[in-house]
């Protein structure tokens, strides 16, 4: 990830600001406020604002004055209880705003989470950056044979080289035509003084989905946790998972107690159906319980066995 001189200057100016406040702050998050945290080849995540901390959750849960209890252990116990029993409202009292630079195809996946305020870079108003996401070879994989929206075996050798060249050539050619239609180079210079440029809102349709866009994304803590629980999961697409992993690190700096509870009860936990619970109970008692009499589907059975590390999967 490369930042322009203007971007670096803006970040330095933002980080040099000195403001006094009576509101709660998170010291560890303050250290990285405004910093561009690199993701993929040209992307980044920046925390540009936030409201509240762990004590804000406790305070709203108890509807109390000030910062609530002064005992961190007591606060931790309450937050873990709220997370464990999915009492969600107190987590809505904290908010955070990110500045994210990401490929358009990931933005279209991300926007499915409709519980945030979003303001995206306008390609009707400005010319998009001449930057494209090109995956590394270790992230080139064939279509999965058993998952319609997943990846299978790694693609290697000359085929991988050919795919990467196609991605790069298509992006560069389309961007060149984008500039030609605009009659304007990325640096703002005119291509042909005798021609008019096509409206930016029309020219943008020619760009590839691996072009980068940017947006400000503001959400409350509850919906951030919902986003991260899905997008930081191993089954999520690698590219959006890369962003989620960086955001999890900002979560840890912002609300460390909530982070621990989230990693314990959401990320590291397993949801079990009533039928699955019945199967586990029988196994613990040493009673015979196999797929045929479990009343679970093949997929449910395999997921259950994988979650608890049992060597009883059905092929």
Residue numbers annotated as active site: 231
Residue among 95, 87, 101 nearest 116 (CA): 95
b or e along 282-305 (b: 16 or more beta carbons within 10 Å of the residue's beta carbon)?
ebeeeeebebeebebeeebbbbbb
Can you say how many angstroms the Cα of residue 81 is from the centroid of all Cα atoms in its chain?
26
DSSP one-letter string for 160-204: HHHHHHHHHHHHHHHHHHHHHHHTB-TTS-BS-TTSPPPPHHHHG
Between β-strands 212-220 and 37-39, what pairing exists: parallel, antiparallel or unpaired? unpaired
Between β-strands 43-51 and 37-39, what pairing exists: parallel, antiparallel or unpaired? antiparallel
Q: How far is the CA of 79 from the CAs of 69, 229, 255, in angstroms?
A: 12, 17, 11
By the 8 A CB rule, do 224 and 90 touch?
no
């Amino acid at each position: 990830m490369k930042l322009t001189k203007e971007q670096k200057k803006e970040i330095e100016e933002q980080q040099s600001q000195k403001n006094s406040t009576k509101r709660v702050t998170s010291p560890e998050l303050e250290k990285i406020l405004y910093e561009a945290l690199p993701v993929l080849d040209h992307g980044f995540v920046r925390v540009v604002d936030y409201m509240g901390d762990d004590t804000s959750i406790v305070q709203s849960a108890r509807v109390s004055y000030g910062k609530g209890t002064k005992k961190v252990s007591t606060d931790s116990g309450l937050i873990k209880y709220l997370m464990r029993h999915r009492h969600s409202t107190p987590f809505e009292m904290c908010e955070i705003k990110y500045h994210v630079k990401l490929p358009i195809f990931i933005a279209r996946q991300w926007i499915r989470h409709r519980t945030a305020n979003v303001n995206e870079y306008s390609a009707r108003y400005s010319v998009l950056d001449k930057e494209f996401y090109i995956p590394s070879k270790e992230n080139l994989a064939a279509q999965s044979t058993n998952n319609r929206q997943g990846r299978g075996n790694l693609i290697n050798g000359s085929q991988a080289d050919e795919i990467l060249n196609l991605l790069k050539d298509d992006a560069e050619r389309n961007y060149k035509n984008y500039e030609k239609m605009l009659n304007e180079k990325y640096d703002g210079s005119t291509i042909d003084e005798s021609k008019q440029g096509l409206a930016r809102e029309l020219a943008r349709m020619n760009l590839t989905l691996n072009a980068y866009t940017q947006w400000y994304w503001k959400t409350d803590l509850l919906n951030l946790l919902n986003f991260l629980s899905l997008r930081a999961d191993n089954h999520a697409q690698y590219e959006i998972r890369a962003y989620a992993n960086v955001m999890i690190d900002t979560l840890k700096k912002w609300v460390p107690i909530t982070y621990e509870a989230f990693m314990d009860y959401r990320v590291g936990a397993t949801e079990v159906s009533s039928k699955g619970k019945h199967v586990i109970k029988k196994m613990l008692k040493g009673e015979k319980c196999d797929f045929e009499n479990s009343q679970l589907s093949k997929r449910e059975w395999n997921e259950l066995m994988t979650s608890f590390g049992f060597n009883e999967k059905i092929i």
